[in-house]
Structure 1
Amino acid sequence: MTASLWSSRVMLSGDVLRRGPAIAIIYVTLAVVILYPVVIIFTEPFSGTDISLTTSFIRVFSDSEVIRALGNTFLISLVSVIIAAFIGVALAWLVARTDMPGKGFFDPLNMIPFYLSSIVGALSWQVILAPRTGLLNVFLSDILGPQAILNIYSVGGISFVLGLFYAPYIYLFTLGSLQSMDPSLEEAARMSGASVLRTAFRVTLPLSAPAIFSASLLVFVTCAGIFGVPLVLGAPGRVDTLSTLIFRAVGDYPADYGEAAVLSLALFAFTASLIALQLYLLRGKAFITVTGKAYRPGLLKLGGWRWAGFALNSVYLLLVLAPLLALLLVSLQNTWTGVFEWGRMTLENYRKVLFLEDVARRGLFNSLFISVIGATIAVAFCGLLALILHRTRLPMRRGIAFLAMVPVALPGIVLGVAFLMAFISTPLYGTIWLIMIAYIVHYLPTGVRNMESLVQAVSRELDESARMSGANWRQAMMRIVIPLIAPGMVSTWILLFVTFIREVSASMILYTYGTETMTMALIQIMEYEPYGVSGAFGILQTVLLLLCVVLIRWLAKLDFSRSRLLAV
């Protein structure tokens, strides 16, 4: 019997997942949490009336405020991508393809913004560049006069902060592509007389174009639907985006769900069209950078420019870490006037956050509960979907892959509005379980893609051998495949844990009293408490998040080392 014939029989026989009810349950689950909310938000603009969808759109978009918000959304997304792409691609090239000093030191530090809340980042830059009380603005106005004031409450300020905090996404995508590239391609260009920069622009970066383009599109779509930073930095300067208008439509009394639905549909159409454009442009394109020929990774010699690269990376880290240091200084002041004074040093702000602010304690507990339980459920569910897609021959399994990818086109605030409209009359509304489900659905594409790559990396011959030895499908998966992908599952869990704990868009729409998350608690504290208290809670959130990541990574390495020892 040939291996392929045996593989077909293994995949089709003795499978508990082959039965109809299993696939039906998965389809029903995905339909309820993905398709049902999407259908509701599509029908809401004209439910109960004879008004057409076109009429609803004309009514909403005839408002000049909406037009300005639409323009701000596009401009902020575009400028943010340009900033993030410049930083991310430049740093990835320096770390992966050059002899820049300190690469081992810079590589993990370049990912720090990924683990931080963008709300905390916005608050940090608010401390530095607020027009009248910003640390840097007070310093510049004393030296150069009031005309030197920089305004963070603007389209440029919002774009700058988003660009800094989403640069790690493009850095990570580009770094992986550059590290796997055959250096002989660059060597050929150098031997032909091309300079280092010409080689980078004509050979290296074009071959990494799919990774750069995909990451840039991801950042563009994310910035188009992001809510936290435009809320913190846009509201004082009256800079509206589609996401802030959606929140206002839902949050005002009486709530205008029709307008919220129309704006959500516009944002959904915007992001979905960009994703479709990406698929179209990359269709049929070949970017082969890894060949079967063995090679030793080579580095481009920058000469004296090595230290210029070192300075560039250092400046980026300074722009990320200096605002956090400023926020720490503010948290230690009983009153903030734009200047740090030793006589105003106090720990009262931390005592208030830890022992007196009920919303802070609720936010801490709720976020940890949602993140730990939600990430665990998400990894298990995504792992099951990946196994079904690549280790079974279930009928209609490709439909599961399609449904799982639908949320990639739904910005967080749009998903929040959809869940609100779909489940407001159910017992789930007003519970942290609804927020948890929204988080899982929002990042389902991320989890599924990660788990698919892990499952596909394991040769089918391994679990097929187990089946030939008498193991059933479940035993083969539990004893062979899952142990092999366990380290990758832990990494996926960490990714989702960090993402859940700093998520704000969906929870801003779905939270009620008692279900506040950490980011929601921070936003509420910022509304009625001085800078010092907000800064103290932001610093505590950042420290807690980084400690959780370090602890989880340490436990994962310890467990993996023990597994290897037991295997030996």
Structure 2
Amino acid sequence: MSTLPHRTLLGVTLCGLTVLVAVPLLAIVLQAVFPDLALGSFGRPLAHLGLTLSDPAIVTLIGNTLRLGLAVVVASALLGVPLGVLRGLFDLPLARLWDLLFLVPFMIPPYIAAMGWILLLQPAGFLQQLSGRHQGDVLFSFTGVVLVMALNLFPAVYFAVSRAVAASGSRLGDVAQIFGASAWRAFVRVTLPLALPALAASLLLVFAAAIEEYGTPAVLASNVGFFVLVTGIEQRFSSWPIDLPGAAVLSVMLMALALLAYIAQRWLTAGRDYETQTGKPVARGPRPLGRWQAPVLLLFGLVAALATMAPLFAIGATAFTATLSGGLAWDNLSLRHFHALFAQGSAALAALSTSFALAAGASLLTGLFGALLAYTVLRVPSRASVALDALSVLPNAMPGIVVAVGLILAWNQPWLPVTPYGSWPILLLAYACLLLPYPVRYAHAALRQIGRNLEASAFVHGAGFGATLRRIVLPLLAPSMTAAMLLVFAIASRELVASLLLTPTGMQTVSLFIWRQFDQGSVGQGMAMSLIAIAATCALVVLAHGLHGRARRDAAVA
């Protein structure tokens, strides 16, 4: 077969990654180095660095960011690891129900969850109306911010640990106990090491999500004077005079923290991978809980009540009451907030249609490009494949606000003849950059399960490269890519921080509509829209996971 299609595919994927990932990253680095870049000058390199770093607030921002990220990691591990181990090793009653309940907090946008907790725990909030007491002092504190974020993020640890422990099974631990190890020693020396890579990856995800999260620190932490790098970057864009070099320097710092976390995770698991040498490790079903069943169910129920039921109750109660001042009373129940959302000419309908259109565009763009990129990395022999693979996962270490800053710096230049800045394509670029790793990883995993002999047979029988790709490879990738695209759609339709910085004047997305309703005091209408967004996100994510699981089962049968 001619190498021309391979060269074409390499060129297309390289150009695509350059536009989506390299351009915003390079723009941030250049702006951090050259403070006059917005004026078209490369003079005075690093002149602004001393002024930015001499600001005593910078040390506070970095310290607060690290403190918050590490505290959320510890709290998420304390919640997710025990629950995940219990779910993976033991025969837990209603196991699928607990999985569903713990999936919901991960699907609630953090800024919405934070508002729900405020409405629940603040003075005169729902908790005080029901019990006569409030917990405002706890909520509006560093501890409250950590707990709210941990309750939102611990499912990442729970699902990673439970699946890893279930996959390794309990037979090897039983063998260790036969040879004299205690149950605790068998768990620490056998079961836990097998789950270490999954645990480290989930904790990295939690740390990255915590340090890049804007909504919860802006809603909760700022009320107690606790500011982090994300809020510092946003302030440099929203406060006059606008400090582009300072925002770029802070963005580089934030991305460096995410990269350091990624390097630490790789170091933690390097040389510490464990694998079984005796075939499938699961010899029997999960162990019965026995007399511990009631306490374990109580623990799961308590966590589900805090992480899922409490914020959902606050969100639903606000959405279905006519006024907050009317409180929890039967005569205050109303659907007027939902009627307002769907009234003819409502801004909410415009926001929904805009978000769904942009999310659909992002899912199609990342799905198709992600499949081509994964195919190029795995099937096209080239030295550039390593660089392409590295660029494809780099957005994992680029927080949303960093991508938004990079796109602003890259495309808001007066010398550009054509620019997407100030129009809807800039949001499409932001969503595609942030969410590209999802379809790439899904396609990467699916392609490894597809033998090369199918493509070779097609070439032998005269099929061209395009026909083979279109009629063999892409249909086999379709289930996994559909799942990835649904996941991209669900996340893109409620993305906040990039939307806040990049949405053009006169346009609204769902997340921006909700944020502005909160800011304007129309909390009921904002929560009504939030319920719709949460329901749509959960439904799409459940569908995506179902399709991905079906694709894996089909591949295993094949």
Same fold (TM over 0.5): yes
Name the CA distance, whole Å, in 1 between partners of 2:235 and 2:160.
Answer: 35
Counterparts of 1:290 and 1:482 in 2: how far apart (Å)? Answer: 34
Question: 2:255 is matched with which residue: 251, 268, 272?
Answer: 268
**Structure 1 pair 301/198, CA: closer, same or farther in 2 (3 Å)?**
farther
Shift of 1:16: 4.8
* Separation in structure 2 between the aligned mates of residue 121 and residue 68 of structure 1, nearest angstrom: 26
Q: Residue 133 of structure 1: which of 124, 131, 138 is its match? A: 124
Name the CA distance, whole Å, in 1 between partners of 2:466 and 2:169. 40
CA distance 1:311–1:204, change in 2 (3 Å):
same
Q: How does 1:63-102 map to 2 (within 5 A)?
A: 63-102=55-94
The change in CA–CA distance for 1:16 and 1:91 in structure 2 (over 3 A counts) is: farther
SS of the counterpart of 1:151? Answer: helix
Which residue of the partner structure matches residue 189 of structure 1?
A: 176
Q: Percent identity?
A: 27
1:372 paired residue number? 360
* Secondary structure, aligned partner of 1:180: helix
User: How far, CA to CA, are the matches of 1:57 and 1:321 in structure 2?
Assistant: 47
1:311 alignment counterpart: 298
Relative to structure 1, the CA distance from residue 273 to residue 149 in structure 2 (aligned partners, 3 Å threshold; closer, same or farther) is: closer
The answer to whether the 8 A contact 2:113-2:311 is kept is: yes
CA distance in 1, matches of 2:492, 2:174: 43
1:96-175 superposed matches below 5 A? 96-130=88-122, 132-137=123-128, 142=132, 149-175=136-162
Residue 295 (structure 1) shift: 4.7
Partner letter of residue 267 of structure 2?
A: Y
Q: How many residues align?
A: 544
191-200 or 529-538, which moves further after superposition?
Answer: 191-200
CA contact (8 A) 1:97 1:179 kept: yes
Whether the aligned pair in 1 keeps the contact of 2:88 and 2:161 (CA below 8 Å) is no
Is the alpha carbon distance of 1:341 and 1:515 closer, same or farther for their aligned partners in structure 2, counting shifts above 3 Å?
same
Alignment of 1:382 with 2:370, yes or no, is yes
TM-score (norm 2): 0.89
Specify which of 288, 309, 319 is matched with residue 331 of structure 1: 319
Structure 1: state its 5+ residue gaps.
1-12
Please report the RMSD computed on the Cα atoms of aligned residues, expressed in angstroms. 2.9
Counterpart of 1:200?
187
Partner residue, 1:35: 22
- Residues 1:73 and 1:138: Cα distance change in structure 2 (over 3 Å): farther
State how far apart, in whole Å, the 1-side matches of 2:376 and 2:66 are.
39
Q: Which moved more, 1:181-190 or 1:431-440?
A: 181-190
Question: Following the alignment from structure 2 to structure 1, what is the Cα–Cα distance between the partners of residues 144 and 329?
Answer: 27
Match of residue 31 from structure 2:
44
Aligned twin of 2:424: 432
Distance 1:111-1:240 versus aligned 2 partners, 3 A rule: same
The aligned amino acid for 1:239 is F
2:441 corresponds to: 449
For 2:423 and 2:395, locate their aligned partners in 1 and report how far apart those are by CA, in whole Å: 22
Distance in 1 separating the partners of 2:382 and 2:512: 42
CA distance in 2: counterparts of 1:187 and 1:550, whole angstroms? 34
Q: Retained in 2: the 8 A contact 1:15–1:473?
A: no
Give yes or no for contact 1:83–1:160 (8 Å, CA) kept in 2: yes
The alignment status of 1:225 with 2:212, answered yes or no, reads: yes
Looking at structure 2, the residues matched to 32 and 548 of structure 1 have their Cα atoms a distance apart, in angstroms, of 28
Deviation at residue 165 of structure 1 after TM alignment: 1.5
Q: Does structure 2 conserve the Cα–Cα contact (< 8 Å) formed by 1:419 and 1:438?
A: yes
Residue in structure 1 matching 2:399, options 385, 407, 411: 411
- Name 2:525's counterpart in structure 1: 533
2:234 paired with 1:243: no
Q: Distance in 2 between matches of 1:289 and 1:176?
A: 16
Give the drift of 1:508.
Answer: 1.7
- Match of 2:321, SS state, is coil
Question: Contact conserved, 2:13 with 2:372, CA < 8 A, in 1?
Answer: no
CA distance in 1 between partners of 2:500 and 2:270 (Å):
37
Native 8 Å contact 1:182 1:291 kept in 2: no
Q: What is the TM-score when the length of structure 1 is the normalising length?
A: 0.88
Post-superposition Cα deviations, 1:419-455, rounded to whole Å, max 9, x if no partner, equal: 0111124431122221111111112223212211110
Give the drift of 1:222.
1.7
Aligned to 1:483: 475
- Separation in 2 of the partners of 1:225 and 1:552? 25
Q: Which residue of 2 aligns with 1:467?
A: 459
Gap change, CA 1:185 and 1:421, over 3 Å in 2: same
Superposition deviation, residue 265 in structure 1? 1.2
Task: Quickly say closer, same or farther: Cα 1:304–1:507, change in 2 above 3 A.
Answer: same
Change (3 A) 1:423 1:470: same
The one-letter amino acid paired with 2:126 is L
Preserved CA contact (<8 Å) 1:14 1:472: no
Residue 378 of structure 1 aligns with an amino acid whose one-letter code is T
* Aligned equivalent of 1:4: none
CA distance in 1, matches of 2:326, 2:290: 43
Compared CA separation, residues 398 and 208, structure 1 to 2 (3 A): same
Match status 1:498 vs 2:490: yes
